Amino acid sequence: MRSEQQEGAVLWFTGLSGAGKSTLAEATREALGALGRRVEVLDGDAVREFLSKGLTFSRADRDLNVMRIAFVANLLARNGVIAITAAISPYRDTRAQARALCGERFIEAYVSAPLATCEARDVKGLYKRARAGEIQQFTGITDPYEPPEVCELTVATHTLSLDQSVAHVLSTLRSRGVL
Amino acid sequence: MRSEQQEGAVLWFTGLSGAGKSTLAEATREALGALGRRVEVLDGDAVREFLSKGLTFSRADRDLNVMRIAFVANLLARNGVIAITAAISPYRDTRAQARALCGERFIEAYVSAPLATCEARDVKGLYKRARAGEIQQFTGITDPYEPPEVCELTVATHTLSLDQSVAHVLSTLRSRGVL
C-alpha cells in the first residue's frame, strides 16, 4: 500500500501513572516502524517542554493538555501518521472531546493495570510521595481516574507480557483497517 | 515520487501584522494541495485555541508560542508534510531556535511589506488601536520586529501580486528539493 493511501490513526493510551502507557507506546512505535509505517509518540520530555510547560494538575490544565495533544495527534493522523499518545487523561468527558476532535481515527486504548499494581511498581516513586502528601492532585490517590466505559481496546499490562500487549494493539489496528 | 520519499518542510513565514502571511500561507496551501502534496497551515483559530491559548504578548510567551508551533511543524515535516506557519515571530533569536529544532527542513520566508504599508492596510484595525494605546506590546509600534538578516526567501507582498508571491514560494521549494 502506498503511503498516500495509508490511514493514519490516533492511538490514545489512557491509564494510571505506572500502568505502562509509555513502555507500551515505545514498543508499539518500534513494531510499527518495523512495518514501515510513519509513527510518532507524543510523550516524554518533548511534549512536556513544548506542549505541557507551565500547566498544573488542575482539571482545567489537565484538560488543556489533553486537548493540545489531541490537536497535534489529529494533525499527524490526517496526514497518514500513526500518532500514539501516552497521557494519563483521567477524565472520560475530556477523552470524549479528544475523540470528537479526531473523529474516526481515534482509537482509545485503556491500559488497565489496577491501582494496587501501579502503586506496587511505583517506578518513579510518585505514589509514595503522593501518599506522603508531597504531591497534590495525584491521579488514583487524591484525584480521580475515570476508566473508559467503552473503548476500542483494553490492554491488561499486569497479566500480559509486553510482546503480548503489542500484538494485541497491532491486531486492533489491523481489524480497524489502519494496518 | 512516492509519498514515503517526499520531503517535508517547515515553511516559516515571518513578518509584521498585515504583511500578508496568512493570505500567502493559504494560497500556498492551495497550490501545494493541487500538486498532490500533504500540507498543513499552522495559523488561525485552531492554533490560537489549542497552542496559543492563555499566552500573552510578553517576550517569554511569544517565544513559547513560536517554539510550540515549531515543535508541531517539525513533527509534521519529518513525516513528509509541508507545514506552513504564519506567526509574526518577531525575534531573530527565537526564529533561530525554531530553525535549530527543525534542522534542514526549515525555510524562513520573510514577508517583507514595510510598516507603512501594513499600517495603511490595517485590515483588522489593530494598528489604529495600537496607535491609540488600546493594545500594548504591538509589534512594529510598541514592540520590536527584527527582520531576518539572511533567510531562504523574501516575499515583497507590497510589490508582487498574490500569484507572483506564490510562484516565488514554489520556486524556492523546488530549488531546495522539496518539490
Cα separation, B107 vs A44, whole angstroms: 27
Please name which of A57, A76, A71, A127 lies closest in space to residue A99, comparing C-alpha atoms.
A71
Q: Looking at beta carbons, which residues of chain B come within 8 Å of A54? A: 64
Give the structural domain span for B159.
3-175
Q: Count structural domains, chain B.
A: 1
Closest-CA residue of chain A to B55: A54
Instruction: Work out the mean pLDDT of chain B and round it to a whole number.
Output: 94
**What's the pLDDT at B45?**
85
Does B89 score more than 80 pLDDT? yes
How many Cβ pairs within 8 Å bridge chains A and B? 54
Q: B133 to chain A, minimum CA–CA distance in Å?
A: 30
pLDDT along chain A (179 residues), means of 10: 70 97 98 97 90 89 94 97 97 98 97 97 95 95 96 97 98 96
Whichever domain contains B117, its CATH number is 3.40.50.300
Q: A55 to chain B, minimum CA–CA distance in Å?
A: 11
**What's the pLDDT at B79?**
96
Closest-CA residue of chain A to B51: A68
Q: Is B55 on the interface with A (CB under 8 A)?
A: no
**What's the pLDDT at B5?**
63
Q: Looking at beta carbons, which residues of chain A come within 8 Å of B76? A: 75-76, 79
- The pTM score is 0.94
- Does B51 sit within 8 Å of A68, measured CB to CB? yes
Determine the 3-state secondary structure of B96 from DSSP.
Answer: helix
Mean pLDDT over residues B123-129, rounded? 95
Considering the candidates B22, B89, B112, B165, report the single residue annotated as catalytic: B89
Scanning B79-161, the segments in alpha helix (DSSP H) are: 92-102, 115-121, 126-131
E strands, chain B, in order: 9-14, 39-42, 82-85, 106-111, 153-155
Does B162 score more than 90 pLDDT? yes
Report the amino acid identity of residue A98. Answer: A
Which residue out of B49, B50, B72 would a mutagenesis test of the A interface target, given it has the greatest number of A Cβ atoms within 10 Å? B50
A43 within 8 A of A89, measured Cβ to Cβ: no
**What's the pLDDT at B139?**
96
**What's the pLDDT at B3?**
47
Closest-CA residue of chain B to A8: B79
pLDDT in tens, B94-105: 999 999 999 999
pLDDT in tens, B28-63: 999 999 999 999 999 988 898 899 888 888 999 999
Partner-chain residue, chosen from B68, B71, B79, that has the shortest CB–CB distance to A79: B79
Please name which of A98, A103, A89 lies closest in space to residue A147, comparing C-alpha atoms.
A89
Cα separation, A49 vs A57, whole angstroms: 15
Q: Is A99 on the interface with B (CB under 8 A)?
A: no
Q: Is A40 on the interface with B (CB under 8 A)?
A: yes
**What's the pLDDT at A1?**
38
Closest-CA residue of chain B to A42: B75
Percent of chain B whose predicted confidence (pLDDT) is above 70: 97
